[in-house]
């Protein structure tokens, strides 16, 4: 969207991630944020044990193929926001109910990145 969300245009790219043996979910609940260098980061929840990431250099028209990130994925989406000092803050619900994530939804972790 170029008008604050009033209208939307579909991207030319189709992002795909593997589907685990746990069920039908592949990629769900993505979150996106603009980085300092102008790229847009798309962080995608998967059941593969890691969030997958994709980047756009043209305002979201096209995206790089989704690749595993360094961030562990559980059974919840991430939450990205930019702090007042310019750093990125990522909320991750560390619910580990599946083989790669054993437990409940009561643990919330946060990570900070300056780049």
pLDDT digits (tens, 9 = 90+) for 68-93: 998 877 767 888 999 999 999 998 87
Residue 64 main-chain phi, psi, to 5 deg:
-70, 155
Checking if the pLDDT of 109 tops 60, the result is yes
Q: What Å distances lie between residue 78 and 7, 41, 74, 107, CA to CA?
A: 25, 12, 10, 13
Per-residue pLDDT of 6-18, as tens digits, reads 999 888 898 888 7
Per-residue pLDDT of 21-59, as tens digits, reads 666 667 788 999 999 999 999 999 887 888 899 999 999
Of 110, 99, 41, the residue nearest 75 (C-alpha): 99
């Amino acid at each position: 969207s170029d008008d604050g969300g009033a209208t939307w245009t579909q991207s030319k790219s189709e992002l795909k991630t593997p589907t685990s043996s746990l069920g039908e979910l592949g990629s769900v609940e993505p979150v996106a944020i603009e980085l300092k260098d102008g790229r847009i980061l798309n962080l995608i929840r998967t059941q593969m044990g890691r969030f997958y990431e994709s980047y756009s250099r043209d305002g979201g028209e096209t995206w790089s193929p989704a690749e595993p990130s360094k961030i562990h994925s559980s059974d919840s989406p991430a939450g990205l926001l930019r702090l007042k000092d310019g750093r990125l803050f990522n909320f991750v619900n560390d619910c580990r109910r599946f083989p790669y994530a054993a437990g409940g939804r009561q643990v919330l972790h946060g990570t900070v990145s300056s780049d």
